[in-house]
Structure 1
Amino acid sequence: MSEHFLLSRLARDLPVTKVIRMSEDAAYNWFRRARWPETKGKPYCPHCGVLECYVLTRRRFKCSGCRKEFTVTSGTIFASRKLPFRQILAIIALSANGAKGKAALELCREIGVQYKTAWANLMKLREALAARRDDTVLEGEVEIDGLYALGHVRPKNRKEDRVDRREAQNQSPKRMVVMALRERRKGGKSISRVARSENADCAWDMVRQHVAPSAHLFADEHAAYDELVGLNKLTRVNHQVAYQHGEGISTNQIESFFARVRRAYRGVHHRFSVKYLDWYIAELSWREDRSRVGNRGQTLEMLGRALAHPTSRNLCGYWQGIKPPDLVWEPRRT
């Protein structure tokens, strides 16, 4: 019997002890290679793209073209950082090791920083990971489904005072639905969005943006997916009869992703806020796609995406009261 990937050496090719023992210069070189992979860590101007740059100080550069100064984190999600490079790299490595996410309270104790620092850095990573879906198109066999989350209504103590919480008027306004798409092939990609309801507009817009016209869709019998017939080939599975019909007619892979979401909610974070639910789900979607990648590859990808993402307009000044609106997706059907 072959060994499971998560139990093999390939899954643990970057121990956290190696990152913690790393020197500041070695961690800085990781940042340089991730920021400028095309030139193997040689800096070029992020403003005009000129390759000729002067070294002003040990880790500060000046462009010979536009004469602007910059560092390895200028204009990225880690702009105006205060932590050392080794500590930021340790945060990324510890976050990558979390199979179902990393809690900020746990991280602040491991790294030795304030809770606010740990939370802000983790949210920056989630924002960078969420941006990957913007240009992602799924092909082949694709499953689509929705998961309702948040908005728990505590039942009354007395039975005669309780109401039917399945009815819309008795549900919390915080109740959201996670709309997700997932490729069936090995190493397949997934897309997730957070909407207010599972409706036809959300399903139609997600498929139109993120699914190739030649793809084969699999969905359940929910009415939100009735109109997808005009976009792609569609096969339905009736869950009231069976979870799987025939051979391969199911939505089991996307249900597996929803199981990861439920366990992250209950066992790691204990709660998600409506404001940042979209980023939490996008992070879990990325983890689902990279479940067969070693922790070194996950750390490098997370670092690369963070340094390729522009400075956050949602988190800059967060602790001074500048907070974004709820990150709830509003479909635009055209």
Structure 2
Amino acid sequence: MKHLIPFILLALVAASASTWQVAVQNEEDVAFHFVVVEAGTDRHGTIQRSLQGAADVVATATALTDMVPAHGVMPLPGTRADDLLVGVYVYPGRSSWPVVVVPIAPGARTVLVSRDSVLTAEDGSVVTLRPWQARLGTEPVLLDNRYLDWEPIAPLARFARPIEPSSFRLKTESESRSAAISDALFWGRGGTRLDTVKAVTSDRAVYVKASVHDEFAAGASLLFYFFTDRGVDRSAFTVEIPVTSASGWVLLWRDGVADPLVIGAYVRDAFLMEAMVRFDLVPADLPLFHPRNGAVEVATMFSGAGRHEEFYHARMYLSSVPHHAPAVAR
């Protein structure tokens, strides 16, 4: 049975349709790497004519530039009606990967990708490619819950021993105030105590990894307050990663705007989370990583029992975030 992402997330998709119109949801336990083949192009016609045509499109693509993590969801910018998602399911350690083709129906808000989308020949055999035939792109990180990509990247912040705050920010329907840490219901629970934070940028996105001392639980969020200059006291905007489930959206909040924008996606396991923020989903007037003398403050938040408890951890400087610019595709 296919399970759609929660209704609130679908509402966010509709709300930001001017930026992108489709959310791609992966129903399987391995990552789906793909390219978008536009309707009316020669490659689109090649796929329509034969099964081998789809395999040829994947094999000849410069890179499979888009990816949806296992059991994850990823926004797809732009109008995609009648286009095709063409790619492979990447099974680590296997000698072949199944080819997948998914059409996008006009007006679709969510597109499900599953084993039902795998191409099969008339004799029932699965159409596959060898791993070396499919180029997975040049991004520094794959959202795969394996975290191997992060090993060479130094932490921006590290808390080998959990911080010991004296206060926290308490928000309810009627108030927002600083309160003594002894009044907190959720401190030390559900992923509120950070262990490490890492980040890396590419030309296309910024990637973030966070680990926690306490296992993530429903209700937890990571908050990143962006400051355009180190001397500015008020944040320009906030990025929230609500790590309530195993995968979901990254949200952008702006002052005076009631609804957030979806700007990326995350995956997580019990103690680790990695997220991707796509630059093409961020409004052009928001300096996510410009100027480079900007700063970001990280906090954890837990929501429950009619209250939001926010725990400040550290300030980090954008100039410390490494940039990944590989010379060749892997």
TM-score in terms of structure 2 length: 0.28
Comparing both chains, which one has the higher relative contact order based on Cα–Cα distances under 8 Å and sequence gaps of 6 or more?
1
Which structure's residues are more often strand, by fraction? 2
